[in-house]
Amino acid sequence: MKIIAPLKARDWFKWKTRINWAITIAAFIILFLILVPFVEWWLAIGVSGLGAFCLFLLYLDRRTIGIQCQSAKCLKIIETNTPWECGFKHCQNENTNAFPFINQCEHCHFIPKAYECHHCGEPIFLSKDKQKFQSAKILVIPKPSEKPAVVKDALAEKSAKQREKKQDLQHKYELTQLETNIALEKKRAIKPDELEQTRKELDRLYEKNIGKEDAGEWKKEEIRKQYADNEFEIDRRCAMV
Ligand SMILES: [Zn+2]
Ligand SMILES: [Zn+2]
């Protein structure tokens, strides 16, 4: 791992490939110069080329850049290829060899000015701006929540069902009672206008019947006067009335 000062890390990353190639070419030349006095020139080129190529692929290109936390209580080394979350749009950066937090966000191209140390939480400034707002931080993908297995208590379930059924029946019973009471009340209740009407009807019938009786009595009196000396005729005619 190559440890770089945080403020120089971005520049170093930009120059990393070029520096690596320069080191590789330098290694090739040195190896060639070492080998050429002893072996044929073409063999020296082949061996030097293979050695430099291996140096580039197996070491230089894989070498990660590290920065040190600036907090006096921490001072831990942070590998810049740590998967990170962009502080601007919260993008998830996992392709960290090409897009470490000392470079830019792969998705929105935001350039972080600080990285929140994943050891102590303090910002590690990557530019002289020293802006910790929207700083990059370690990417933490939450585990899919495991739903706790529902253990059904058979007894509790049965009891709940019985309770529910009882409540339903109780409700039905109360409802029926209420409906019956309402029907009875309706039957009992006589509206004031209906009562008045009934009274009038009774008066009318009474007056009618009394009138007929009075008229009958008057007619009978008339018959008695008319046939005062004929008992037979009085009885016959009064019976007709
Ligand atoms: Zn982003
Ligand atoms: Zn720290």
Report domain extents, the chain.
Answer: 2-138, 190-241
Q: Is 98 helix (H, G, I), strand (E, B) or coil?
A: coil
For residue 214, what are the CA distances in angstroms to 112, 119, 204, 225? 121, 123, 15, 17
- Who's near 141: CB < 8 A, 6+ residues apart? 92
Ligand 1 mean position to 89 CA, how many Å? 5
Contact 75, 68 (CB under 8 A): yes
Q: Which ligand is nearest to the CA of 86?
A: 1
- The rounded Å distance from CA 66 to ligand 2 centre is 13
CA of 95 to the centre of ligand 1 (A): 13
d(CA 233, CA 216): 17
Angle between helices 231-240 and 192-226 (to 10 degrees): 160
Which ligand has its closest atom nearest to the C-alpha of 104?
Answer: 1
**Stated pTM of the model:** 0.53
Read off the amino acid at residue 117: C
| Ordered per-residue pLDDT tens for the chain, 241 residues | 888 899 998 888 889 889 999 999 999 999 999 999 998 999 999 999 999 999 999 988 888 889 999 999 999 999 999 999 999 999 999 999 889 999 999 999 999 999 999 999 999 999 988 888 899 999 998 777 755 555 567 888 888 899 899 989 988 998 898 888 888 888 777 666 777 888 888 888 888 777 777 888 888 888 888 888 888 888 888 888 7
Q: Are 78 and 117 in contact (CB under 8 A)?
A: yes
